[in-house]
Structure 1
Amino acid sequence: MSDNQIHFKYSPNIRDIDVLEEGEGICDCCGKTVSLYYPTMYCKEDIHCLCLSCIASGEAAQKFDGDFIQNAEMHKVSDPGKHKELFERTPGYVSWQGEYWLACCDDFCAYLGDVGTAELEEMGIADEVIAEYEERGEYSDIREYLMKTGSMAGYLFQCLHCKKYHLWVDAD
C-alpha cells in the first residue's frame, strides 16, 4: 500500500497538520527509502524516520516498544483494541506539553488540527466548544487568548460517532 492510500482513523488529516516530514529518509523500522515520514515516537530508541506503513501496521510500535501518543482520555474508552490503535498505530500531533487525545461515545475522537478562537468562530462552534472546555476546569477565559499555533493553542477533535466537536487547549 502506498503512503497516499494509508488512512489513520484518529488522525484523518495527517497530511495537513504539519507533523510529517518530506524528503528522502530511511525508515528506522523497515529500512525502506521514503519521501514522506513521521520523525519521532515515544520509545528508548532514537527515532528519526518512520514510514506511514510501519506506523499504520503497528510494526514500529512493536519493534521499538513505543507509543505515538503521550496521553488520552483512557477512562472514556472501554475497548483495549481502540487504545492500541490510538497509541500504537496513530501518529501524534504537535503541542506545547504533549498530545492529549479526547474521547466521546466510547471511542477516541478524530484529531482535525490546530485552531484558535477565530477558526472556531468561522466554523460557528466557538461558544459550544469553549464552554465545554472551560467546564473541565483546566484554563478559563480562553476566548481572547486562544490562537492557532499561539502561546495558548487549541486542538480540535470530532467524535467519530455523534460528530460533536471537542476542544483541548495547551499553553507554553
Structure 2
Amino acid sequence: MDSADSIAPLPVFRYHPDPIGTGSIAPSDKECRCCGRSRGYIYTLAPYAEEDIEEESICPWCIADGSAHRKFGAEFIDSEGIPDEVPEHVVEELVERTPGYAAWQAEEWRACCNDAAAFLGESRDAGPGRTTYVFECLHCRRRLLHVDFP
C-alpha cells in the first residue's frame, strides 16, 4: 500500500455516513479493480454491473467520484428500491456514487422530505428472524425503517 494513499481521508457519503460502521466498507490491502491502487479500504459488497465484479474489489474513492460507474457501469444500490419521490439527481448519487448495504432481499432505500434518507445501519433489537435497517431523514431527523426477512 502506498503510504500517501493510506493517509487519505475516506470520502464522505451523504446518504451513507458511516460505511465502515455498517460493514459496507472495510480496512483492506486489496487493490481496487477500477483505479489499480491499494488505498487501505475496500467496498465489501459486489456492485450491480453487466460485467461480473467480485466483492471486495472496488475502493470507496472510485465509488465516491463515480469512476467505478463510468468504467464498469457499476451501480451500488438497486434503483427499484428507491421511492419515486426522490429527485433524479439524488437517485443518480445513490445508485452511482453511494455504497449499498447488505440485505436479505434487495435493499430498499427510505425517503422523507422529498430527499433520500441517510442509511445508519441495522437495529440491534429487530427480533427473531428479521433484520431492521435504520435510516434518518437529513432534514427533519425522523427515523425510518426497512424490515427484512431471510
**CA offset at residue 13 of structure 1?**
1.1
Which residue identity lines up with residue 30 of structure 1 in the other structure?
C
Match of 1:66 in 2: 74
Query: Structure 2, unaligned stretches of length 5 or more?
Result: none
Bigger Cα Rg: 1
**CA offset at residue 3 of structure 1?**
5.0
Alignment of 1:143-154 (within 5 A): 146-147=126-127, 151-154=129-132
Greater helix share, structure number:
1
- Normalized against structure 2, the TM-score is what? 0.86
Moved beyond 4 Å, runs of 4+: none
Map Cα deviations across residues 61-86 of structure 1 (whole Å, 9 max, x no partner): 11111210124333111x21111101
Map Cα deviations across residues 116-149 of structure 1 (whole Å, 9 max, x no partner): 4x3xxxxxxxxxxxxxxxxxxxxxxxxxxx33xx
- Normalized against structure 1, the TM-score is what? 0.75
Match of 2:22 in 1: 17
Query: Structure 1, unaligned stretches of length 5 or more?
Result: 119-145
Count of residues in Structure 1 that have an aligned counterpart in Structure 2? 141
Percent of matched pairs sharing the same residue:
36
Which residue identity lines up with residue 63 of structure 1 in the other structure?
K
Match of 1:76 in 2: 85
- Contact kept in structure 2, 1:74 and 1:83, CA below 8 Å: no
Moved more, 84-93 or 17-26: 17-26
Match of 2:133 in 1: 155
CA RMSD of aligned residues (A): 1.7
Q: Provide the C-alpha distance between the structure 2 equivalents of 1:74 and 1:31, rounded to a whole number of angstroms.
A: 35
